[in-house]
Each structure stands twice: as structure tokens, then as C-alpha cells.
Amino acid sequence: MRDDPVHETLRAIAVTLQQHGVPYAVAGGMALVVHGYDRTTVDVDVLVTPEGLETIHKIFRDAEHGVRVEFLVSGEFPGDGRPKPVAFPDPAACSIEVGGIRYLNLNALLELKLASGLTNPGRLKDLSDVQEMIRTRDLPLELGSELHPYVREKYRELWQATRSG
């Protein structure tokens, strides 16, 4: 793992959350990297439960590295923040461990990125991220059938676009 401020912050967050028993899953650009799309990111996105967020407010301070940390909360909605069929899931139910740090699993990451890009014009980068994941990991079209019905068609559309270029 790299030694830049973003990765140092990621490690510090993971250790702190684990020490306090807070379920979490790293999301966003850091999760993309773990799943095979090496995209530069300048912040750390972490999915937690509402109870975990309460604990975090009591214990967590990372002013040392000067990296923005965004906590996403299970039950809330990606993209525009409005209710939709896809919500941020419980991190304990959708994470994998890589190198001692918990990350969103691939399907959850794709669903959240797709739902975000579908509902927030300011988050079109999320759709681009999915398309690049499809291209760089050579993800199969059939993976779309494992995703939430709300995002399946957009996955198929992005998959087709990677084949037509």
C-alpha cells in the first residue's frame, strides 16, 4: 500500500474503527483501486451504520494528514440523497477484507456508483468509474443480473458502450 497522505489516513481510520468495534467498509475511489481500477483519489469515503457514526463523532479526529474523510451512512441514499430502491447497505453485510482493511464488495460498489450517477448529474464520474471498471476488469455482462434491478439496465448500457468503442 502506498505511503501518501490519503493511504495513511485510510490506515489510521481502519485501525481506529477496528479498535472501537465499528463496522465499516471503505467506498469510493479507494474501493475502486482494490477492485482493479487504479484511479487517483484525494479523499477517503467510509460506509458506517448510524450507530457507528455516533461512535465516530466521539472518538475520531484525523487532522494530522489533512485528508477529507466522508462518512456514508447505511440507510441513506446515494447520489441526490433522495429515497430510491438502492440505499447505502449495512457495511457488515457487503464488505470484504483486503490487507486488514474492509472494503465494499464489488457488487455493492457497482450498485452504489450506478445509483449515484443515475440520480445526480453532478456525479456522472460515478458512471464513468463503473464503465472503467467494466473495461479494466473485463467484467461480464452477466454480472448485471446480480445487481439491483434499479441499476441493471444502466450497467448493461455501460457494458455495451465499452464494446462499441
| Residue ranges covered by each domain of the chain | 5-164
- DSSP lists the bridge partners of residue 26 as 46, 103
Q: How confident is the model at residue 84 (pLDDT cuts 50, 70, 90)?
A: very high
| Cβ atoms of residues 55 and 36 within 8 Å | no
Q: How confident is the model at residue 111 (pLDDT cuts 50, 70, 90)?
A: very high
The 10s digit of each residue's pLDDT in 144-162 is 999 999 999 999 999 999 9
Mean pLDDT, range 22-28, rounded to an integer: 96
| Cβ atoms of residues 59 and 51 within 8 Å | no
Q: Which helix (H) or strand (E) holds 150?
A: helix 149-164
Write the CATH number of the domain with boundaries 5-164.
3.30.460.40
The 10s digit of each residue's pLDDT in 36-77 is 998 888 889 999 999 999 998 887 655 556 688 899 999 999
Q: Taking the chain, what is the end-to-end CA distance rounded to the nearest angstrom?
A: 33
Q: How confident is the model at residue 1 (pLDDT cuts 50, 70, 90)?
A: low
Q: Longest Cα pair distance anywhere in the chain, in angstroms?
A: 50
d(CA 154, CA 148): 11
Joined together, the cell numbers standing for residue 141 give: 455482462
pTM: 0.92
Percent residues over pLDDT 70 in the chain: 95
- Sign of the dihedral through C-alpha 8, 18, 106, 68: negative
